[in-house]
Amino acid sequence: MTKSFEDLIAVNHISFRIEEGEIVGILGPNGAGKTTTIRLLTGVFELEENSRVEIYSEDLNNSPKKLKKLFGIVPEISNAYSDYTVLQNLNFSGTIYGLSKTKIKERVNTLLERFELGEKKYAKTKTLSKGLKQRLNLCMALLHQPSILILDEPTSGLDPFSVSIVRKQILELKKEGKTILITTHNMQEAQQICDRILIMNRGNIIADETPDNLRKNFKPTSTLVFKMKDTLSSEQKEKLNSMFNLKEENNNLFHAISENPLKDISYLYDFIRKNDIQITDLKLLETTLEEVFIHLIKNDSKFTRDDKSEI
């Protein structure tokens, strides 16, 4: 896919595949091309010449009405009518999707219960918190039981309770066989729920991997951080150094580089037991997706900063 706005290339000849039932996250800094990519995939923006989107082997350009029915879309900004109640918004959405009154009632009741919105069904949308509005957006997107769900920043700015509900439901939808595409700036969220991650920068895909592989390829080691209750003898330190790539900090605090954390924790346990030593603190620090993301964006050399194609 390619998309330009005059001399600005927003999406630069990218290509990727999403398998049925996957949760795929698109990550990138502001202006990376994430939203433009979503709008191309859903037919909001027209594809340029030689660009192509296939859904279940059918060309989106050739069958737009048929294929768009497969989508449930949750935009970052609520698309619910603010003066309508929750129930009115859902009934209206069901009508737009062409559902019968019986089907609408059935689906509305199911979704209100699923997203814990039953007590708010007669409340006007403008009176809802952002978290409740986002849950309503999800209900509206799921009314017609789409097979593909596209979520643009689904938990941005939400309270922790709403975040937990939304994330739980995303994982439940995956279990039901939904294919889910998410754009997010939340690295923890991407690491927890995505099967695969696409990292975009300046209109290009610079990484396409599982969260675990992204972290392991960036830094295959972990760090064990532990603190001893008492000062170790020189002999004990020498023994520890023979077991680990060890770095001693102040106050009996040690950092050990580990390629096999579970094995090394077991070795450490044997060491303290045999030497009658007490550990007051033990942590395992692994490479985070955020570290990988920042590294990849900083070191992306596909374009120079003054290149006209940057967005």
Asked if 295 contacts 218 with a C-beta cutoff of 8 angstroms, the reply is yes
In this prediction, residue 109 carries a pLDDT of 96
Strand order in the sheet with 222-228: 245-248, 253-258, 222-228, 279-285
Whether residue 197 has pLDDT greater than 90: yes
In this prediction, residue 217 carries a pLDDT of 82
Asked if 69 contacts 63 with a C-beta cutoff of 8 angstroms, the reply is no
Asked if 115 contacts 86 with a C-beta cutoff of 8 angstroms, the reply is no
Residues whose CB is less than 8 angstroms from the CB of residue 273 and which lie 6 or more positions away in sequence, other chains included: none
Distance CA 212, CA 195 (A): 9
For 3-216, CATH number?
3.40.50.300
Distance CA 33, CA 13 (A): 12
Name the token pair of 64.
């737009």
Residues whose CB is less than 8 angstroms from the CB of residue 187 and which lie 6 or more positions away in sequence, other chains included: 27, 288, 289, 290, 293
pTM of the model: 0.79
Establish whether domains 3-216 and 221-286 are of one fold.
Answer: no
List the chain domain ranges.
3-216, 221-286
In this prediction, residue 307 carries a pLDDT of 40
Q: What's the CATH number of domain 221-286, 3.40.1000, 2.40.50, 3.30.70, 1.10.287?
A: 3.30.70
Whether residue 11 has pLDDT greater than 90: yes
Query: What's the one-letter identity of residue 8?
Result: L
